[in-house]
Amino acid sequence: MDKIKIRGGKVLEGKIHISGAKNAALPLICASLLTDETVTLTNMPMLSDIKAMNLLLTQLGTQIDEFDDFIDGHPAKTYAYRTKEAVSLIAPYDYVRKMRASYYVLGPLLARYGKCELSLPGGCAIGARPMDIHLSSLEQMGAKIEIKNGYIFADVKGRLKGTHIIFPGVSVGATCNILMAAVLAEGRTVLENAAKEPEIGDLANLLNAMGAKIEGIGTSVLTIDGVEKLHGAKHKVIADRIEAGSYAVAAAITRGKIELINALPWTLKRPLQVLKDMGVRVTENENSIVIDAKGCTLTGQDIMTEPFPGFPTDLQAQFLALMLTAEGASMVTETIFENRFMHVPELLRMGANINVHGHASAIVRGVKKLSGAPVMATDLRASFALILAGLVAEGETTVNRVYHLDRGYEKLEEKLKSVGADIERIKEGDEE
Ligand code: EPZ
């Protein structure tokens, strides 16, 4: 397994290009299953999760053509997806256990073929992450759902029926899945208490470009009038707000100055406000954000994760790392997942002062210095928090299990090196 080695103490300065959003690309790929025509996605990030999803769709019968592209000043991938006819309607355990977002094939396959067999994703490091909202909503649309031998057997006679659904909880995944189910359903579907993350808007925009009839994009009430058939389309993936927020913290924690090219300020309002409240200078341009913390003394701030437009849970670990270097105390409260403080024990080994209460909150007190150490990555965003701490710690930090990072951060060490970080990837077996 590769490792990443960082020598802390460098002030990061320069520009970083933000890639297309992983959490938009994954449902966008599955939306291509809804038509027998070609769906072309540009500005796609080069991530292992995208490769995994492409493998799954190939298994279902999708033809995928891959092109190297150059979008908005940075290399990206363009993929053309075409599912003339599915050869399988099964998402096997081996795929789903590696990437839970495989469950995004459920809505489209049920909508187009009236049938899908999906391995239950099971829990993951950050929580149980059940699918009850996905499944109960599909049942309200007329699907028969049976769970046997760790698989979901879903089918519907004829078409899914449009209906009025009030989600019992705000769920990004359920909103995406039901949106994709509703676009080919018979009649009107109203989704209340829908998630409003920008990635859902990106999916809805692609679906409408394919001929769907979705209204209320960006609000918590989505109205979908089902159509008989959808056609192909071309769509550029929205910029990754979590990647942008992660590198914004890299600038702030090293007291440097980084321009985040292609980042969209409207997708990061709450995190940018927290940075401003801490004393960071933030400049919001139309297609970039400048984070300037040069010479700043930062003060701790309380953060609480909430559904969009609240503070994103996917930036909690990164901001907690930032609070380690701020003056005073910060209360970090996690309300979305039940086990999302796994970065804490590793940060404590680097000399942090953090006290976790139960599962939901941690009090962080700024310390004068952190010391480099070998640390273990556990989940995607917690791993980035360890990288951030390594950027400011005295001495050398080695982050193990880097495969977590490769799921969600494209060319991570190249991007950080380009702004002055002393960072290198040690390929497995290359160690001296
Ligand atoms: C998406 O996960 C993201 N993943 C997550 O990002 C992100 O943290 C999360 O949304 C919240 O923003 C992708 O987009 C691929 P949810 P998702 O359904 O859809 C509970 C990353 O690092 N819930 O909004 O699984 C659930 O357990 C990843 O990129 C149910 O109880 O999140 C959680 O507590 C990590 N029943 C809460 O809702 C359900 O049927 C929010 O989950 C569905 C969800």
> Do you know the residue count of the chain?
432
Hey, whose CA ends up nearest to atom 9 of ligand 1? 172
Ligand 1, residue 169: give the atom nearest the CA: 38
Instruction: Give yes or no: residues 209 and 355 share one domain.
Output: no
Residue 17 within a domain = no
What's the CA gap between 48 and 247, in Å, rounded? 20
Q: What is the CA radius of gyration of the chain?
A: 22
Q: Name the catalytic one among 116, 124, 176, 296.
A: 124
Query: What's the gap in Å between 8 CA and the centre of ligand 1?
Result: 33
Residue 244 within a domain = no
Say what the pTM is: 0.97
Query: What's the gap in Å between 292 CA and the centre of ligand 1?
Result: 31
Statement: residue 343 has pLDDT above 60: yes
Ligand 1 pocket test target in 171, 203, 242, 409 with most atoms within 8 Å of CB = 171
Ligand 1 pocket test target in 19, 22, 23, 267 with most atoms within 8 Å of CB = 23
SS3 state of residue 405: helix
Statement: residue 432 has pLDDT above 70: no
Query: What's the gap in Å between 101 CA and the centre of ligand 1?
Result: 10
pLDDT digits (tens, 9 = 90+) for 76-99: 999 999 999 999 999 999 999 889
pLDDT digits (tens, 9 = 90+) for 348-364: 999 999 999 988 999 99
SS3 state of residue 73: coil
What's the CA gap between 343 and 383, in Å, rounded? 7
What's the CA gap between 239 and 336, in Å, rounded? 23
Instruction: Give yes or no: residues 7 and 43 share one domain.
Output: no
Cα of first residue to Cα of last residue in the chain, in angstroms, is: 15
Query: What's the gap in Å between 173 CA and the centre of ligand 1?
Result: 6
SS3 state of residue 176: helix
**Can you give the pLDDT at residue 101?**
96
pLDDT digits (tens, 9 = 90+) for 101-159: 999 999 999 999 999 999 998 777 788 888 999 999 999 999 999 999 999 999 999 99
pLDDT digits (tens, 9 = 90+) for 360-413: 999 999 999 999 999 998 889 999 999 999 999 999 999 998 899 999 999 999
Task: Return the closest-CA partner of residue 235 out of 188, 201, 277, 197.
Answer: 201
Statement: residue 258 has pLDDT above 80: yes
Query: What's the gap in Å between 176 CA and the centre of ligand 1?
Result: 11
* pLDDT mean across residues, the chain: 96
What's the CA gap between 148 and 124, in Å, rounded? 20
Q: What is the span of the domain harbouring residue 89?
A: 22-236
Ligand 1: residues with CB < 6 A are: 23, 26, 101, 127-134, 169, 171-174, 195, 313-314, 336-337, 380-381, 408
Residue 123 within a domain = yes
Ligand 1 pocket test target in 175, 305, 314, 383 with most atoms within 8 Å of CB = 314
Q: Which amino acid is at 133?
A: I
What would the two tokens of residue 143 be?
Answer: 């699907």
Ligand 1, residue 307: give the atom nearest the CA: 12
Ligand 1, residue 49: give the atom nearest the CA: 15
Query: What's the gap in Å between 128 CA and the centre of ligand 1?
Result: 10
pLDDT digits (tens, 9 = 90+) for 167-219: 999 999 999 999 999 999 999 999 999 999 999 999 999 999 999 999 999 99
**Can you give the pLDDT at residue 431?**
67
Instruction: Give yes or no: residues 38 and 7 share one domain.
Output: no
Residue 255 within a domain = no
Ligand 1, residue 173: give the atom nearest the CA: 19
Q: What is the DSSP string of 253-297?
A: HTT-EEEEET--GGGSHHHHHHHHHHT-EEEE-SSEEEEE-TTPP
Burial label for 425, CB within 10 Å (0-12, 13-18, 19+), is middle
Which distant-in-sequence residues (6+ apart) come within 8 Å of 287 by Cβ?
Answer: 72, 261, 262, 263, 264
What's the CA gap between 235 and 214, in Å, rounded? 16
User: Cβ distance 116 to 106 under 8 Å?
Assistant: yes
Ligand 1, residue 379: give the atom nearest the CA: 22
Q: What is the CATH number of the domain that holds 151?
A: 3.65.10.10
Instruction: Give yes or no: residues 78 and 200 share one domain.
Output: yes
Burial label for 216, CB within 10 Å (0-12, 13-18, 19+), is middle
**Can you give the pLDDT at residue 341?**
94
**Can you give the pLDDT at residue 194?**
98
Distance of CA 7 to the CA centre of its chain: 28
Hey, whose CA ends up nearest to atom 37 of ligand 1? 336
Ligand 1, residue 126: give the atom nearest the CA: 35
**Can you give the pLDDT at residue 192?**
98
**Can you give the pLDDT at residue 215?**
98
Task: Return the closest-CA partner of residue 15 out of 284, 421, 418.
Answer: 418
What's the CA gap between 145 and 91, in Å, rounded? 15
User: Cβ distance 339 to 273 under 8 Å?
Assistant: no
What's the CA gap between 344 and 341, in Å, rounded? 6
**Can you give the pLDDT at residue 124?**
79
Answer with the one of 221, 236, 251 that is the final residue of a domain. 236
Hey, whose CA ends up nearest to atom 10 of ligand 1? 172
Answer with the one of 199, 218, 236 that is the final residue of a domain. 236
Hey, whose CA ends up nearest to atom 34 of ligand 1? 337
Residue 94 within a domain = yes
Ligand 1 pocket test target in 193, 237, 336 with most atoms within 8 Å of CB = 336
Half-sphere exposure of 338 (CA within 13 A, CB side): 6
Query: What's the gap in Å between 13 CA and the centre of ligand 1?
Result: 33
Hey, whose CA ends up nearest to atom 6 of ligand 1? 314
Domain total of the chain: 2
Residue 124 annotated to the active site: yes
Which residues on adjacent β-strands are paired with residue 115? 155
User: Cβ distance 300 to 329 under 8 Å?
Assistant: yes
Q: Which amino acid is at 324?
A: L
Average pLDDT over residues 267-284: 98
What's the CA gap between 90 and 106, in Å, rounded? 9
Instruction: Give yes or no: residues 7 and 27 share one domain.
Output: no
Residue 313 within a domain = yes
Residue 290 within a domain = no
Instruction: Give yes or no: residues 220 and 367 share one domain.
Output: no
Query: What's the gap in Å between 68 CA and the centre of ligand 1?
Result: 31
Instruction: Give yes or no: residues 7 and 26 share one domain.
Output: no
Instruction: Give yes or no: residues 33 and 7 share one domain.
Output: no
Residue 16 within a domain = no
Instruction: Give yes or no: residues 273 and 392 share one domain.
Output: yes
